[in-house]
């Protein structure tokens, strides 16, 4: 691969979008592991009151300081200023890096991000958009594309597909060939210009993604001819989806926790877009557990790094979805704490 600084003086930025749980962090980790030529800086923006992804990405970086986290809001709206500030500050040392990966939240409207990078001179004088890559969850994307939004609000999932120049049709292991083909036709109707690459675990050939300068403003203007005029009024309403973050110290009772999660997903899988957790279980020594859910689909297992010696067993949970009841979730989780008398 040629580096950006060979071909021009701006630093390439790959913007990674895609709905909640589509496989963005998996993609970032895969890139960090797969390619060794480039020094990459990762900008993480996570929707959720408790940050979990930055820890999971930092495990893949040689220098953990090469990850910059922008929390507490969505990069396309409330922290758009944060993006300008962060990239502005980074401009001084941007030449240390060959590329930047910006992982946006699952509710980000990419058009606002593109607009900011293209029109703010502090950014456009230092960076260029190499590519907008959208992760599409083959199992759940239809549901989010179909979602009815209130008058004037955008459908984030649709915007993410429409503004991409590469779509990774991910999680193909979870659907039939017919389901996959039907979704591909739907994607092509929304965005005829994007290249669609089928993936499992976000494993796309990187020479088809990075360093190709494939971002194309023309196709964006084709989708939205008033793109530059439309941006001042945000039609993005991420508050339609809530996030509940819960943290508390202690060890969980594995069986109680499993029962709680099974009940929750049986009753609420449709509304529960995304669940994440970092957990400590009684009887598991210093093994730290990671919990990842996307609707009814759950992944659960040990984290790469155990609890450090003397580290507090702080359980962290994030629930993202609709109609969430913070008190009920907190009470139910607290009831999963291991107590001596709960052992028998």
Ligand X SMILES: Nc1nc2c(ncn2[C@@H]2O[C@H](COP(=O)(O)OP(=O)(O)OP(=O)(O)O)[C@@H](O)[C@H]2O)c(=O)[nH]1
Kindly write out the interface string for residues 223-262 of this chain, putting x where it contacts ligand X by CB under 6 A and - elsewhere.
----------------------------------------
Q: Residue 80 interacts with ligand X (CB under 6 A)?
A: no
3-state secondary structure of 258: helix
Q: Residue 159 interacts with ligand X (CB under 6 A)?
A: no
Exactly one of 37, 125, 173, 311 binds ligand X (CB under 6 A); that residue is: 173
Residues in contact with 251: Cβ distance below 8 Å, sequence separation at least 6, in sequence order: 280, 281, 282, 313, 337, 338
In angstroms, the CA 135 to CA 201 distance is: 10
Q: Residue 201 interacts with ligand X (CB under 6 A)?
A: yes
Stretch of 24-32, 150-158, 231-239, 253-261 lying at the interface with ligand X (CB under 6 A):
24-32
Stretch of 57-65, 195-203, 211-219, 308-316 lying at the interface with ligand X (CB under 6 A):
195-203
Cα 240 from chain centre = 18
- Applying the rule CB under 6 A, the residues between 274 and 333 that interact with ligand X are 274, 292, 294, 299
Stretch of 23-31, 79-87, 119-127, 226-234 lying at the interface with ligand X (CB under 6 A):
23-31
Contact 35, 173 (CB under 8 A): no
Q: Residue 69 interacts with ligand X (CB under 6 A)?
A: no
In angstroms, the CA 16 to CA 104 distance is: 6
Exactly one of 171, 236, 288, 316 binds ligand X (CB under 6 A); that residue is: 171
In angstroms, the CA 224 to CA 231 distance is: 11
In angstroms, the CA 218 to CA 192 distance is: 12
In angstroms, the CA 32 to CA 28 distance is: 6
Interface ranges with ligand X (CB under 6 A): 18, 20-26, 53, 106, 135, 170-171, 173-174, 200-202, 274, 292, 294, 299
């Amino acid at each position: 691969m040629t580096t950006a600084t060979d071909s021009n003086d701006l630093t390439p930025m790959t913007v990674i979008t895609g709905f909640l749980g589509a496989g963005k962090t998996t993609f970032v980790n895969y890139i960090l592991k797969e390619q060794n030529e480039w020094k990459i800086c990762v900008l993480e923006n996570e929707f959720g009151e408790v940050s979990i992804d930055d820890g999971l990405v930092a495990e893949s970086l040689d220098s953990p300081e090469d990850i910059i986290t922008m929390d507490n809001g969505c990069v396309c709206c409330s922290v758009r200023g944060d993006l300008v500030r962060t990239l502005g500050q980074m401009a001084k040392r941007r030449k240390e890096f060959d590329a930047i990966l910006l992982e946006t939240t699952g509710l980000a409207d990419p058009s606002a991000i593109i607009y900011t990078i293209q029109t703010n001179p502090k950014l456009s004088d230092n960076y260029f958009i190499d590519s907008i890559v959208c992760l599409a969850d083959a199992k759940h994307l239809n549901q989010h594309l179909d979602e009815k939004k209130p008058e004037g609000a955008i459908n984030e999932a649709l915007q993410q597909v429409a503004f991409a120049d590469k779509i990774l049709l991910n999680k193909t292991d979870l659907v039939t060939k017919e389901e996959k083909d039907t979704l591909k036709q739907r994607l092509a109707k929304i965005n005829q210009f994007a290249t669609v690459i089928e993936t499992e675990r976000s494993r796309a050939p990187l020479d088809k993604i990075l360093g190709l300068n494939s971002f194309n403003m023309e196709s964006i203007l084709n989708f939205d001819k008033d793109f530059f005029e439309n941006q001042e009024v945000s039609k993005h309403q991420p508050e339609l989806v809530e996030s509940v973050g819960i943290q508390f110290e202690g060890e969980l009772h594995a069986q109680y926790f499993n029962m709680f999660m099974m009940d929750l997903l049986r009753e609420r899988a449709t509304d529960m877009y995304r669940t994440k957790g970092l957990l400590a279980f009684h009887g598991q020594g210093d093994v730290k557990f990671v919990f990842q859910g996307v609707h009814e689909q759950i992944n659960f297992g040990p984290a790469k790094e155990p609890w450090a010696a003397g580290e507090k067993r702080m359980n962290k949970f994030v629930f993202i979805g609709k109609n969430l009841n913070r008190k009920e979730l907190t009470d139910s989780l607290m009831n999963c704490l291991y107590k001596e008398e709960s052992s028998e």
